[in-house]
A and B are shown apart, each in its own frame.
Chain A
Amino acid sequence: MNGNSLDPRVNRLPKIGVPGQVAAKAPLDQFGTFEVFVQPKEGKPFQHEGAVHAPNIEMAYVLAKETFTRRFVCSSLYVADTRNVYVSPMTENTTNAYDLIAEIPQQSGEKVTFEIYHLLRRGKQHIHAGTVSAVGPQEAMLAAKAQLRGDKAIYNVWAIRTSDIRFTSPEDKDLWVTLPEKKFRDASDYKGGDKLKEFLERAK
């Protein structure tokens, strides 16, 4: 760079072009997005955590692990391309999202399984509600309406073809086994109370 930095590594960086002149970024310079679902504990449903940018679903999985599960307990994780998530209308108050899904005539073709997610409280995350079989996504939502609706208000429904999801294989579940050992990421590892007390005694 310019040799003026306090950081020796910065001073070793190469010069690039004239400052202020940056080539415009291509629209997909940083790739498409993938939605990330995390299972916090064994037996709990998967919940939506957010999104990552990645060139493909395998990289999305790796980045999701690093972005969303490096800190707190996690039992499993999966990702799906945002474009493969089918979304119902969003509702509020007493309107149930399932009531806005239009009926369609029975479709012909092979049935596949879809994972269904519910938004039970506005402002919170979508939570996995169950699995249904259907020919297409809209039929999957109708099947979910019949099988998974329950009596709670549901403000939004997502459906993803099971085959479009990159799951964690059972043998990879040990990815998170060492999390509890990484105490250096935990506030409880930085107890300064004794040192502080000792210092205050001395300062008297």
Chain B
Amino acid sequence: MYGGGNTFEGVKTDSLAQEDPVKLAEFEAKIARGEKIEPVDWMPQLYRKQLIRMIEQHGHSEIIGALPEGTWITRAPGFKRKLALMAKVQDEVGHAQLLYSAAETLGKSREQMIQDLITGKSKYSNIFNYPTFTWADSCFISWLVDAGAIVNQLANAKGSYGPYCRALDRICAEESFHLKYGHHCVIFLAAGTAHQRKMFQDAINRWWTPMMQFFGPSDKISTHTEVLMRWKVKMSSNDDQRNQFLDMYVPKIWELGFTIPDPKLKKNPDTGRWDYTEPDWEEFKRVINGDGPCNKERLEVRRIAEERGRWVREALKAPKAEYVAPLA
């Protein structure tokens, strides 16, 4: 799972002027032909930097995203749900491993990425800064947050960087179980008692705003990503992804008899796109920058894990090892 709301650094294209124009043209032609870029190929600094940033954020989102759901493993209703949720959370952590490896091929070590996560320097998907009060919140994540992640990941899997695409192909294949499991949980809540229905309705009411923010700021205010689109780093705009998600999942939520807390939400028959209340992007920024309900707890849990695992890492350390980035 993962959020499309990457915080791309304001893309400064002036560094492009320093790149070798011949190599740059070859690089762009290769991408335009639909070929993949591999770690040893020449690439502009900006491409490398933005990809590291994006893949790293994606990896962190998998790690942190495992926390709000992981918290429900011990309290999952029944053995089957517990088993499934454990498997799902394990998958998410496994995805982080795949993604960190992909980012490493670009020249940032995993140690540095982990360090940047626990010191708060790197970002992760904003939605995981919200708490899972009830089992229904965890079901909302399994079904709808994963659904949003899949919209984003399927698009990115067609991107230009070979190792990232290969990691995403594997991740998307694994995610299909998450989505089905999440929907299954929600169907059972919907078809359950009045109390169970209310639990999920409350979860929708809590999560809808973060879910809308999940795909990142509106295209109107997003920093210009034209060069990232041309380089197939970013594969579709935030608004397009949001729209695709609404198209696929709003009917499914309504089918189950739930309501969505946005009076403006409806498909516009003229444009074929969804109208909705613009999410509060100031709040989004504030939460990303550390002021959300769970930011502190999420990072604290990671720091404690890091600290408590130190003796294991030290005991296993191989004195002759030297660092080399993975190959592909």
Q: Is B16 an interface residue (CB 8 A)?
A: no
- With A55-B316, A67-B97 as known contacts, state yes or no: A27 contacts B111, CB within 8 Å: yes
Which of B133, B180, B300, B316 is in CB contact (< 8 Å) with A19? B300
Q: Using a CB-CB cutoff of 8 Å, which residues 183-204 of chain A contact chain B? A: 184-192, 195-196, 198-200, 202-203
Asked if residues A30 and B71 are in contact (CB atoms below 8 Å), the reply is no
Chain A CB count within 10 A is highest, among B165, B179, B257, B317, for B317
How far apart sit A51 and B165, CA to CA, in the bound complex (Å)?
A: 15
How far apart sit A13 and B297, CA to CA, in the bound complex (Å)?
A: 11
Q: Which residues of A contact B187 (CB under 8 A)?
A: 192, 195-196, 199
Asked if residues B322 and A83 are in contact (CB atoms below 8 Å), the reply is yes
Closest-CB distance, A203 to chain B (whole angstroms) = 6
Which of A25, A55, A156 is in CB contact (< 8 Å) with B317? A55
Q: Which residues of A contact B80 (CB under 8 A)?
A: 184
Asked if residues B191 and A196 are in contact (CB atoms below 8 Å), the reply is yes
Closest to B306 in A: A22
Q: Is A102 an interface residue (CB 8 A)?
A: no
Asked if residues B111 and A126 are in contact (CB atoms below 8 Å), the reply is no
How far apart sit A73 and B310, CA to CA, in the bound complex (Å)?
A: 34
Closest to B80 in A: A184
How far apart sit A49 and B170, CA to CA, in the bound complex (Å)?
A: 9
Q: Is B227 an interface residue (CB 8 A)?
A: no
How far apart sit A92 and B33, CA to CA, in the bound complex (Å)?
A: 12
Closest to B35 in A: A122
Q: Is A48 an interface residue (CB 8 A)?
A: yes
Which of A3-11, A107-115, A143-151, A164-172 is the interface stretch? A3-11
Closest-CB distance, B291 to chain A (whole angstroms) = 14
Closest-CB distance, B72 to chain A (whole angstroms) = 9
Q: Sort chain B's interface into a size bin.
A: 35 or more
Closest to A55 in B: B316
Q: Is A43 an interface residue (CB 8 A)?
A: no
Asked if residues A83 and B324 are in contact (CB atoms below 8 Å), the reply is yes
- With A55-B318, A184-B84, A187-B176 as known contacts, state yes or no: A90 contacts B115, CB within 8 Å: no
Which of A31-39, A131-139, A173-181 is the interface stretch? A31-39
Q: Which residues of B contact A71 (CB under 8 A)?
A: 91, 173-174
Q: Which residues of B contact A1 (CB under 8 A)?
A: 297, 300-301, 304
Closest to B313 in A: A29
Determine chain A's interface SS by DSSP, over half rule. loop
How far apart sit A70 and B119, CA to CA, in the bound complex (Å)?
A: 32
Asked if residues B255 and A200 are in contact (CB atoms below 8 Å), the reply is yes
Closest-CB distance, B111 to chain A (whole angstroms) = 4
How far apart sit A155 and B181, CA to CA, in the bound complex (Å)?
A: 40
Q: Which residues of A contact B119 (CB under 8 A)?
A: 20, 22
Q: Is B106 an interface residue (CB 8 A)?
A: no
How far apart sit A200 and B131, CA to CA, in the bound complex (Å)?
A: 31
Asked if residues B328 and A25 are in contact (CB atoms below 8 Å), the reply is no
Q: Is A82 an interface residue (CB 8 A)?
A: yes
How far apart sit A144 and B177, CA to CA, in the bound complex (Å)?
A: 41
Closest to B177 in A: A187
Q: Is B162 an interface residue (CB 8 A)?
A: yes
Which of B36-44, B234-242, B266-274 is the interface stretch? B36-44
Chain A CB count within 10 A is highest, among B90, B326, B328, for B328
Q: Is B46 an interface residue (CB 8 A)?
A: no
- With A10-B71, A25-B111 as known contacts, state yes or no: A32 contacts B321, CB within 8 Å: yes
Asked if residues A6 and B133 are in contact (CB atoms below 8 Å), the reply is yes
Q: Is A16 an interface residue (CB 8 A)?
A: yes
Closest-CB distance, A51 to chain B (whole angstroms) = 3
Q: Name 29 A/B residue pairs within 8 A (Cβ), A-sorted.
A: A1-B297, A1-B300, A9-B71, A9-B74, A10-B301, A16-B304, A19-B303, A22-B306, A28-B317, A28-B322, A28-B323, A31-B321, A32-B318, A32-B321, A33-B323, A50-B326, A52-B97, A67-B97, A82-B324, A89-B40, A92-B30, A125-B328, A184-B83, A188-B180, A192-B180, A192-B187, A195-B191, A199-B187, A203-B257
Known: A27-B323, A87-B40, A200-B255. 5 other contacts (CB 8 A): A22-B119, A32-B321, A33-B326, A83-B322, A187-B181
